[in-house]
Structure 1
Amino acid sequence: MSQIEIKEENGRLTIYNHRKRKNELDMEEIDLSELIQNKVYGSYVKATKDEDSSRVLYFEPYEEDLETGEVQSGDEQEEKQAEIDPEADIFPKDEREYILVYSVNKKIKYTKGAPEIILKRLLPFKIKILSLRMNKRRLSICMVGYFINAYSNLQIGTQNVCADNVCSKCEFPITDQKTNIIKMIMRGAIQKIKMGMDEIVDSVSTIDKNISAEIEVNGIKIPYGLPKRKWRVKVSKKYFAPIAKIIRDGFMIFVRRNARGNIVLVTRMADEYETTGKYRFWESKIVSRFLYYCGKIVSNFSKKQVNLYFEKETMKAEEGTYEVFSLASENQTSDNYFIIDPKSEDYERICQDKNVVLKYSPKYYWLVYRANNVITTEAPAHLNILRSGNKYIRFRMIELKFVFLQHGVTYMKCHGPTSAFVAGREAEPEYIFVGSEKERDVVVDMLRIPEERVLITGLPIFSTIPYKHITAESEDFVTIMLTFKPYEERLDNFEKSRYYHAIIELYDILKNYVPEEKILIVAHPRIQYLLETTSLKERMWNRPISQVLEITKLMITDYSSVAYNSFYQGAAVLFYQEDIEEYEEVCGNLIPRDEEYIGLRAFDLQEFEDILGQIIQNQKIVLDVARTKEHEENYNSINEFHDGKNVERIYEKLAELKLV
């Protein structure tokens, strides 16, 4: 019978070793509120019986007293978790926390946290993927692996390999010690998993989903990432390139790896271009491979820098990137090209420039592989199809120096540890331009980029728009522009989304304060077609966003950096943040502190209407009330430059860095 007794009461954990001759090291009391989630601690209490040598001593759910216990923010917990267990993948988690106490060679350890994380410490999983194939009928994975279970009282249940809701049963061996993978192969411990593409297309609920081995332990399903690493791949950024891909039923489906080398299934709607013969030729494996290696050779040996400029999805030329390109084109020490889609509304305006290149043209493909740098307001992925299935283009995007001009002020939404822009990830910038020391500090902290690579010049977009041209005499246009939430991205019916309902609710209130023809709605493309079937059809904005900002006197948004753009032009901003708790839980804490906002804030419809009653009088927006002195001071501390010369400062920095 065990001599170790564990009790949890009133937020305190007590570990006893019951012995006749007691001493002060036979009992330890622990304040659970002081434990960092998922971190393992060692107790000074030691097990003295062999039967307590390696076993689970206590595993129970724990609910913290919210009145007395401190709850860390999602960001803080992710940061700490990354430090404690950098190999951890992000999987759906049990909502409850658990307390786990266990012994290892008579040393007692304890931890508090998510069960699917803390139980992994007791049940290591060794795995090697031997092959991975995909065709239009199925995804096939051949692998060898085993679990190590040194704890006799762990209750082991069923095993599966899952991609979201699609699962296939498996039976990995369970041993009590580490062994050689080759020996496991010789013992025939090879698992061959097959998943039907019909099920994958129908069931996958998110665009990116970890493929995981799942084992039931003490009634809880524990997922493990499946690594497919290569010693030849020195840079983990390259893990984001596809391993295998297919196009089927209007979907692009491919498997890639995450930053830790674990395989991820990506399922997205296929781009229209991906169904054309032109795509099948220019992005075929043989042509892409040839261009990739030829381009690398030329770019490595040429003394002249080749720079590519573009904006969002190569569909715009309105955020100042074209102006930077125009200045750089006057320089003979580098070759500069602006990439634009011929379907862009800005194409006709700039197409006469000889160095403007059509997206998907033969010259475009050569430049993608030949270039040295991309200078853009978006991630490099916007140069091609987002989430491209072409691994050679993905490799090239990662290898190019990325100069990030930014299309909006980084002082609203959080870029958490999983952001593509964080150091070490796919879109880590070589240099990033910001508008103030305050913004620089945020970028350094969030993206983990050295200060020397964060350049304070102002953003190019603010050189293309006049400062404070919206005045009390301007027309009273109100624009609703909410942020589309990532957790609603794969909803089958967007009419069920909070985004859709919030727009309708705000509009219904607004029309009581201003004429309906003065209300403009900028909606996400996935929602716009729904709103165009309602009475709001005439209020939908279908032209470039820059044009609606030129006339907006009151901007209503929630978490968009467009607020800073609108404020720069003289408008007032009203933040409607009724879902802020859910948004921050999923996307991370917003950057501005409560006292740093550049506009008034409403957290429900009643508060929203109360504010409208204060700032709109006789159908006129009163800027002196809606846009306070405090808001002005906050703005000037976040975006310092108002002289319209940001593009010139950016060009000077690029020249100093010998990029142009």
Structure 2
Amino acid sequence: AKNMICFINDKKVDIIYQEKRCTSYNISYEIKKLKKRRAKNKSLWLFADMPFRADDNAEHLYRYVMKNYPEKNIAFVLRKNSHDYKRLKKEGFKLVDPKSFKFKYLVFKADKLISSHIERYFFEALGENTLKTKDFVFLQHGITQNDLSSWLNQRKIDLFITGMQDEYDSIAGDFNRYKFTPKEVKLTGFPRWDALLKNNQINTKQIIIMPTWREYIVGSYSKKLMKRRFNPKFYESEYFYRWDSFLHSKKLQELHEKYDYKIVFSPHPQIRPYLEGFNLPNYIIIPSVEMSMQKLFCESSLMITDYSSVAFEMAVLKKPVIYYQFDKDELFAKHTYTQGYFDYNKDGFGIVVLDIDNLLYELKMKLQNHSFKNNFLTPKANSLEKVTQAILFI
């Protein structure tokens, strides 16, 4: 019931609330007003990357705010069993487990929820109206290179951070499918890019292989587990067959031995539960979950991916990419996005190949000619401060 009605000795009596006499009291309405008032008065910024992992834009921005705006009341959401928990705790991060009551309390108190991902555990922590009285800041996990309008238009986003001009124009410009405007969308660069550029290494002999995931070959999402269920049919997919064939190819091993390059395989987090089934050769390195993604980018000289936006990290570092796209039509028909402004053949940071033979050939050419320079993307400077200022002016 939304309204409260009082009876004394079976007789209905008036209610006096805030010096006003009434016959009933709308509890739901008053609670909503209370939530709004308390949330805005608290001025708490609540940050999050993924529930099980940090090491993304939210972590980098939190660290910057903690050091440069010590007067700000901030907290960071992370599971206690995360490999990042002790590291961030030691650094002075104020951490809260998303499974705890304190997390819901802080969501209730917060006036700004700041995240690199859009996850229901966060933006619906108090129900579907969680964001009604709060500002949601979407830092993004990577450059939006494909059309995510059908998904993002469903969300309340008060500040939408972008990293490059074409991306910004595709979301906030005229004649696109997004509901967002220049009021919400800001071109600042990503918080993690400041550190990425600072820690870059050149002339390294390491190749990073980072394919993205496919929604239609992994399990369905479990709210209880806060992750996707395991799908044993994954190993019957073309995705598994193609990448497994490449990783087990004799030619790849020959290139590794001839040119003395480390080969690192680090697929999307949604693919990690299936790594055991790849049964990779000993010379291929699988980085631990504790390994920083930024460290992998900085220490690598070349990336092999399919459609992943991590390619932009290499472009920021002026390092080339080879795109292995064997399932383009199926991906854009079944995955969580459709093709957007970004044309991999025209706009990409390296050549696009469709089969394993061409992939191995292009890799050989790169190693043989030592052609690792790239001039595709010049990131915005001082992204951390620009993002912070954008949040302050919401």
Please say if 1:458 is aligned against 2:189. yes
Contact 1:381 1:397 in 2 (8 A): no
Runs of 4+ more than 3 Å apart = 293-296, 326-334, 392-395, 397-400, 533-538
Secondary structure, in 3 states, of the residue corresponding to 1:550?
helix
**1:607 counterpart letter in structure 2:** N
Structure 1 length normalisation: TM-score? 0.47
The one of 277, 284, 292 equivalent to 1:530 is 277
The one of 433, 447, 455 equivalent to 2:161 is 433
Shifted more, 438-447 versus 536-545: the winner is 536-545
Contact 1:296 1:369 in 2 (8 A): no
**2:243 counterpart letter in structure 1:** I
Superposition RMSD on alpha carbons, in Å? 3.0
Q: Counterparts of 1:147-546 in structure 2 under 5 Å?
A: 297-301=34-38, 302-313=40-51, 315-329=52-66, 331=69, 334-352=72-90, 353=92, 355-381=94-120, 383=122, 392-397=126-131, 400-411=134-145, 413-417=146-150, 419=151, 421-422=152-153, 425=154, 427-444=155-172, 445-466=176-197, 469-471=200-202, 473-474=203-204, 476-490=205-219, 491-507=231-247, 508=249, 509-515=251-257, 518-523=262-267, 524-531=271-278, 533-535=279-281, 539-543=285-289, 544=291, 545-546=293-294
Q: Distance in 2 between matches of 1:343 and 1:482?
A: 26
User: Compared with structure 1, are the counterparts of its residues 551 and 446 closer, same or farther at alpha carbon in structure 2 (3 Å cutoff)?
Assistant: farther
Please say if 1:554 is aligned against 2:302. yes
User: Compared with structure 1, are the counterparts of its residues 354 and 396 closer, same or farther at alpha carbon in structure 2 (3 Å cutoff)?
Assistant: same
Contact 1:320 1:463 in 2 (8 A): no
Q: Counterparts of 1:82-161 in structure 2 under 5 Å?
A: none
Q: Distance in 2 between matches of 1:520 and 1:446?
A: 37
Q: Distance in 1 between matches of 2:70 and 2:87?
A: 24
Stretches of structure 2 that go unaligned for 5 or more consecutive residues are 1-26, 220-230
* Residue 557 (structure 1) shift: 0.4
Contact 1:299 1:371 in 2 (8 A): no
- Structure with bigger strand share is 1
- Superposed CA deviations along residues 385-425 of structure 1, whole A, max 9, x for unmatched, are xxx8x7x44432565321111121112x33142x1x12xx1
Identity %: 18
Secondary structure, in 3 states, of the residue corresponding to 1:455?
strand
Structure 2 length normalisation: TM-score? 0.76
**2:272 counterpart letter in structure 1:** P
Q: Distance in 1 between matches of 2:274 and 2:363?
A: 25
* Residue 428 (structure 1) shift: 3.3
Contact 2:36 2:133 in 1 (8 A): no
Secondary structure, in 3 states, of the residue corresponding to 1:513?
helix
- Superposed CA deviations along residues 217-255 of structure 1, whole A, max 9, x for unmatched, are xxxxxxxxxxxxxxxxxxxxxxxxxxxxxxxxxxxxxxx
**1:342 counterpart letter in structure 2:** K
User: Compared with structure 1, are the counterparts of its residues 569 and 612 closer, same or farther at alpha carbon in structure 2 (3 Å cutoff)?
Assistant: same
- Structure with bigger helix share is 2
Aligned length: 338
**2:383 counterpart letter in structure 1:** N
Q: Distance in 2 between matches of 1:331 and 1:308?
A: 14
Stretches of structure 1 that go unaligned for 5 or more consecutive residues are 1-289
Q: Which has the higher contact order (CA 8 A, sep 6+)?
A: 2
Contact 2:305 2:324 in 1 (8 A): yes
* Residue 378 (structure 1) shift: 0.9
Q: Distance in 2 between matches of 1:596 and 1:535?
A: 34
Q: Distance in 2 between matches of 1:611 and 1:440?
A: 32
- What is the aligned partner in structure 1 of residue 332 from structure 2? 584
Contact 2:207 2:261 in 1 (8 A): no
Secondary structure, in 3 states, of the residue corresponding to 1:520?
strand
Q: Distance in 2 between matches of 1:467 and 1:333?
A: 27
- What is the aligned partner in structure 2 of residue 656 from structure 1? 393
* Residue 517 (structure 1) shift: 7.2
* Residue 300 (structure 1) shift: 2.0
- Superposed CA deviations along residues 152-200 of structure 1, whole A, max 9, x for unmatched, are xxxxxxxxxxxxxxxxxxxxxxxxxxxxxxxxxxxxxxxxxxxxxxxxx
**1:463 counterpart letter in structure 2:** D
* Residue 573 (structure 1) shift: 0.7
**2:116 counterpart letter in structure 1:** T
Secondary structure, in 3 states, of the residue corresponding to 1:312?
coil
User: Compared with structure 1, are the counterparts of its residues 453 and 590 closer, same or farther at alpha carbon in structure 2 (3 Å cutoff)?
Assistant: closer
**2:196 counterpart letter in structure 1:** I
* Residue 656 (structure 1) shift: 2.6
User: Compared with structure 1, are the counterparts of its residues 448 and 536 closer, same or farther at alpha carbon in structure 2 (3 Å cutoff)?
Assistant: farther
Secondary structure, in 3 states, of the residue corresponding to 2:77?
strand
Q: Distance in 1 between matches of 2:93 and 2:332?
A: 46
Please say if 1:604 is aligned against 2:355. yes
User: Compared with structure 1, are the counterparts of its residues 368 and 304 closer, same or farther at alpha carbon in structure 2 (3 Å cutoff)?
Assistant: closer
User: Compared with structure 1, are the counterparts of its residues 348 and 575 closer, same or farther at alpha carbon in structure 2 (3 Å cutoff)?
Assistant: same
User: Compared with structure 1, are the counterparts of its residues 492 and 654 closer, same or farther at alpha carbon in structure 2 (3 Å cutoff)?
Assistant: same
Secondary structure, in 3 states, of the residue corresponding to 2:240?
helix
- Superposed CA deviations along residues 338-370 of structure 1, whole A, max 9, x for unmatched, are 112112222112215363323333322211222
**1:542 counterpart letter in structure 2:** S
Contact 1:469 1:570 in 2 (8 A): no
Contact 2:112 2:134 in 1 (8 A): yes
Q: Which structure has the bigger radius of gyration?
A: 1
Q: Distance in 2 between matches of 1:450 and 1:410?
A: 16
Q: Distance in 1 between matches of 2:299 and 2:330?
A: 32
Q: Distance in 2 between matches of 1:536 and 1:579?
A: 28
User: Compared with structure 1, are the counterparts of its residues 529 and 400 closer, same or farther at alpha carbon in structure 2 (3 Å cutoff)?
Assistant: farther
- What is the aligned partner in structure 2 of residue 97 from structure 1? none
Secondary structure, in 3 states, of the residue corresponding to 1:493?
helix
**2:262 counterpart letter in structure 1:** K
Q: Distance in 1 between matches of 2:78 and 2:333?
A: 37
Contact 2:53 2:84 in 1 (8 A): yes
**2:365 counterpart letter in structure 1:** Q
- What is the aligned partner in structure 1 of residue 19 from structure 2? none
* Residue 576 (structure 1) shift: 0.5
Q: Distance in 1 between matches of 2:149 and 2:252?
A: 34
Q: Distance in 2 between matches of 1:304 and 1:332?
A: 16
- Superposed CA deviations along residues 110-155 of structure 1, whole A, max 9, x for unmatched, are xxxxxxxxxxxxxxxxxxxxxxxxxxxxxxxxxxxxxxxxxxxxxx
User: Compared with structure 1, are the counterparts of its residues 296 and 320 closer, same or farther at alpha carbon in structure 2 (3 Å cutoff)?
Assistant: farther
User: Compared with structure 1, are the counterparts of its residues 442 and 494 closer, same or farther at alpha carbon in structure 2 (3 Å cutoff)?
Assistant: same
- What is the aligned partner in structure 2 of residue 18 from structure 1? none
Q: Distance in 2 between matches of 1:550 and 1:435?
A: 19
